[in-house]
A and B are shown apart, each in its own frame.
Chain A
Amino acid sequence: MKLRTKLFVALVSLSSSAGVMAAGENNVGSCGWGSKLFAGQSGIFPQAFAGITNLSFGNQTFAISSGTSGCTQDGAVSSSWQTALFIDGNKEKLARDISRGQGETLDSLAKLLGVSDNDKAHLYLTARQNFDRIFPSAQASTDDILQGFQQVLAQDDTLKVYTAKL
């Protein structure tokens, strides 16, 4: 019941904190989206939609190896963060689409990676056949998924060119 109440309230807040445009205030360097609940919570499938509850700025939800200072500028995601944030916010749907070899979330990821139309079918097939490597466990973090994806792409002659945007 408590969770329900919290979510009920949070539902109303909707996107009140997420991605507020900064026509006057500082909004540089915040990473307000992505799933805060993922942090410290195991499981590839989180228990409630993170984007609604407890929105706050400045929380990195997964380890950043690139060392950039922030992932949004005035509410728009900087390109170097786009793919990572998208995967972080769409983990379950991505896993589902990859396992089926089709789906909107997978199409969107392909677009972010800049995959050409010719290569899409091959990407989807390769990803599906390597599902277990990309999502090694139910506790896989976004970092794990990114790494798994990177390895799978790197080992394929046609697809290795797309690791650049991962």
Chain B
Amino acid sequence: MFPAGPLLMRVLCVVLALTSSLAAADDYLTELVAAASARSLHQDPQWQALLHYKARAGLFGLRSLADDSRFFNAPDGKTNPQAELAATLAAFFSTDAETAEQQNPQCRFMARYQWLKATLSFDANRLPEQPCARFHAWREKLDPERITLVFASAYLNNPSSAYGHTLLRVDRVGQADNTSLLAYAISYAARADDTNALLFGLKGLFGGYNGTYAMSPYYQKVAEYNDFENRDLWEYELALTPAEIERILAHVWELGPINFDYFFFDENCAYQLLLLLDVARPSLALADEFPLWAIPADTIRAVAQIPGLVRRTVFRPSRSTVLKTRIAGMDAGQIERALALARIGTPLDPPSMASAPAAELDLAYDYLDYRRERGDLQGPEVAQRLRALLSARSKLDEPGELSIPTPAVRPEQGHRSGRIGLTLGRLEGHAFQELRLRPAYHDLLDAQAGFLAGSQIDFFNVVLRHANDSGQVALERFDIAHVVSLSLRDSLLKPTAWSAYFGADRLRKGDGTEGMRGRITVMGGQAYGLTNCCQWHLLAGGDIQGSKRLEDGYAAGGGAKAGVQVDLSAAWRVAAGVRYFHYFLGEEHTAREARLEARLTLSTDWALRFEAAEQRELGARSTTVSATLYRHF
């Protein structure tokens, strides 16, 4: 042997040490993997929750809902929980140092690391713990004490918001209700950049978009939902333990840049947040309650039904709710003067502002700011007037705090989203029975409590009719979508009422022929409310129908509809309406309908409905009366 110099000795020593430490690491890894396997940790609900493994309808076995290779350490991690666990353990042995661009796997998969470390009792001598400075700095900034689930009520003018939206808020230590703006909010949303509404709709429905989790200051969310979109916010404070809160946050850290395929119906914002809650406490198994679709209000209901999980609720009114409360406490003269103060186009009149009382200045400001926020009014003149109003207000020593009543019924306390009904009826004296099934969501005659007033969102309403005469069961109607928004106009706010229908129903002609007809109807107009009485509306629009039974196969035309709704009591609502359409293309004809409906609420999820309608179209005149027992589920 040649003489081994000191340097060579040192090199050999280092090499030997490295090899043995690698071997030691290998040994320890083997041990850990064996321990995990012996305890079937890959089947543990916590591991399943952390990796978002679900057995989705139609697929065999488990698949992770994450659609991003960065979420997995094993090549088959998406479908193989055991391989993923072993590969994750292996990844933890990495000694990669943390940089601004990269993290060590222990840090990147912080929730997994924390759980596996506790469950397998990692030996820090054999598996050194990485410092993870970025994670700890982030977590410290959050300063978490509580988690609050926030529900933004329905917003009909944006299809993806029609059912509401949910997000989580990380409440800080020592945070009070009046400083909740300073909290951070965690939200899941689609990254959509299509301006074409149809493309947007299709991609949103069928997973064409990526969804990601993101964090932003809560005040930004409040401005987005409360102010810009005018939605009431409901905040549900959750009773999660400190350990559960840590787990959610560590998991949110893991999810940061990970892409999920966004599906409007089933893997949407509400569903993804349930996955977060399941990570905190796998025994909740909230996400499993929504195998097919997740409507945000339903997910809130699922959370609220867990005993003790919701500690308290806070209502945060939208701008329009605030405005409505203001004018409810003022007389016509005050409102008129306030509107004058807010009027753009007239010269600024400091003396009249200086002598105006606080309530009028407050209404003037809130109203003008509301219009500006909506984009109705813009420009330096608006800015000047707003500032002038506030300047005048600042001279008054009057806090003028407005107390907004919290609605008696919360969104999750209203009727359930699905509805099934059994009908007995007569068409021109001929008896029939119907089975009606509507998976979602709410119409103008359902019990209104907990829902956006004047709103209707019906999806995939199916009616099957059995006629005694023929003894046959046939499809009577299939309403794919019927969305109505009858927002009421008042002295301040002038929204447009509208309705859109897309579906098919059975047409019956005077000569006895009948068949299915597809139809699209779009209408717009106005709706008004008379205090404590009723609402009425007038809409006009166009209608296109297609059917083999129609001459030329189709008919197109325009018309109008007028209706009134009266709440006779808490349980009784009555609605009457007339509709007149003239079709001048295809099979020319006129269609008229007069309708009277009444609903009797039996309980939150049970109701009776009575309908009487007279229709004249295509040479047929028919009178239908019916009674339906509805159950929401």
User: B-contacting residues of A (Cβ < 8 Å)?
Assistant: 3-9, 11-26, 28, 33, 42-45, 47-49, 51-52, 73-78, 85-86, 89-90, 92, 95-96, 98-102, 104-105, 107-108, 111-112, 128-129, 131-132, 135, 137-139
Contact = CB atoms under 8 A, between A and B. Distances in A.
Contacts of A25: 101, 256-257
A98 to B, nearest CB: 7
Contacts of B134: 22, 73-74
Given A9-B195, A47-B378, A102 B179 contact: no
Contacts of A75: 138, 184, 214-216, 256
B219 A74 contact: no
A129 to B, nearest CB: 7
Interface in B252-275: 252-258
B262 to A, nearest CB: 10
A138 to B, nearest CB: 4
A93 to B, nearest CB: 8
Contact of A5 (B101, B195, B373, B391): B195
A64 to B, nearest CB: 19
11 contacts: A15-B216, A16-B212, A22-B257, A24-B108, A24-B256, A73-B134, A96-B390, A105-B181, A108-B179, A138-B383, A139-B383
Given A13-B192, A101-B397, A135-B387, A108 B253 contact: no
Between B252, B254, B373, the greatest number of chain A beta carbons within 10 A of the residue's beta carbon is seen for B373
Nearest to A8: B158
B252 A21 contact: yes
Interface residues of B, number: 76
A96 B361 CA distance: 11
Interface stretch (B221-229, B518-526, B569-577): B221-229
B633 to A, nearest CB: 30
A23 B390 contact: no
Contacts of B394: 98-101, 128-129, 131-132
B205 interface: no
B100 A28 contact: yes
Nearest to B181: A108
Between B101, B219, B382, the greatest number of chain A beta carbons within 10 A of the residue's beta carbon is seen for B219
A138 B20 CA distance: 71
Contact of B386 (A28, A33, A105, A138): A138
Interface of B: 70, 100-103, 108, 134, 137-138, 141-142, 158, 160-161, 178-179, 181-182, 184-185, 187, 189-195, 197, 200, 204, 212-217, 219-221, 223-224, 227-229, 252-258, 358, 362, 365, 369, 372-373, 375, 378-380, 382-384, 386-387, 390-391, 393-394, 397-401
A44 B184 CA distance: 25
Nearest to A135: B387
A45 B382 contact: yes
B179 A111 contact: yes
Contacts of A101: 394, 397, 399
A12 B160 contact: yes
A147 to B, nearest CB: 17
Nearest to B109: A23
B142 A76 contact: yes
Nearest to B393: A99
A33 B387 contact: no
Between A48, A73, A100, the greatest number of chain B beta carbons within 10 A of the residue's beta carbon is seen for A100
B495 to A, nearest CB: 14
